[in-house]
Amino acid sequence: MSVKTGQARYARSSIQLSDANEGKSAMTDHEKLTVALIGSADTKLDGAVTVSEVVSDAISRTDIEGQEVWVRMSTEPHLRSVEAVKNEGGGWRVAVGVMEFVRPEHAVYPELRQAIEDAIESVPGVIEVEREVNDVWWVSGSPSGEDLARAVAQVLDEHADRLRDHYNNLTPGTALSYSADLPG
């Protein structure tokens, strides 16, 4: 099975890194979901957001706006969190938070991307995988959302040390932004 690269179906916002200790000045989509699920975030005066009170690294199911969502909560949500959201028309959307900070020009990228795609493809029931944008894959078939989240979480755990080093060595003030065209 090969992974397709598709045209984006939505637009993403800009992420501004201020300082490794200060955090990001804009909350990412993944952090917004994490906060929605655990109900706790602190906003600093400079706009940085700190997500706190993450209970464990467990994968749990929730329903958000009527959609089945499987989330891997983590004590390091910027590195080790993943979400699988069931699409209304079938299949799943798998989002990997750390991929917002890992780009093709980074040394860790090729191995991590391939490992994520291999993990998704290994889940029973997966028919096709399409990488929509850098941190999102669309999965067709009838796999379990829990199994998708668990497979990707295992990859993130196996790469955690390298990802932590990569994230901690990002240049403060580096804007990692991209937008995708909306359909129509």
Instruction: Write the pLDDT tens digit of every residue in 95-106.
Output: 999 998 899 999
**Domain limits for position 132:** 56-170
Lowest mean pLDDT among 75-79, 111-115, 132-136, 155-159: 75-79
Q: Does residue 184 sit within a domain? A: no
CA dihedral 40, 45, 135, 93 (to 10 degrees): 40
pLDDT at res. 53: 38
pLDDT above 70 (res 59): yes
pLDDT above 80 (res 183): no
Confidence of residue 76 (pLDDT cuts 50, 70, 90): confident
> Cα–Cα distance between 117 and 112 in angstroms, integer?
9
Q: Does residue 144 sit within a domain? A: yes
pTM above 0.85, yes or no: no
Q: What are phi and psi of 11, to 5 degrees?
A: -100, 145
Q: Does residue 113 sit within a domain? A: yes
pLDDT at res. 63: 85
Q: Does residue 5 sit within a domain? A: no
pLDDT at res. 62: 87
pLDDT above 70 (res 171): no
Containing 168, the helix (H) or strand (E) segment is: helix 160-168
**How many domains are there within the chain?**
1
Residue 131's nearest CA partner among 10, 7, 15 is: 7
Q: Does residue 61 sit within a domain? A: yes
Q: Does residue 31 sit within a domain? A: no
Which of 17-26, 29-38, 154-163 has the largest mean confidence?
154-163
> Cα–Cα distance between 71 and 79 in angstroms, integer?
14
> Cα–Cα distance between 79 and 98 in angstroms, integer?
5
pLDDT above 60 (res 32): no
Q: What is the mean pLDDT of residues 91-95?
A: 96
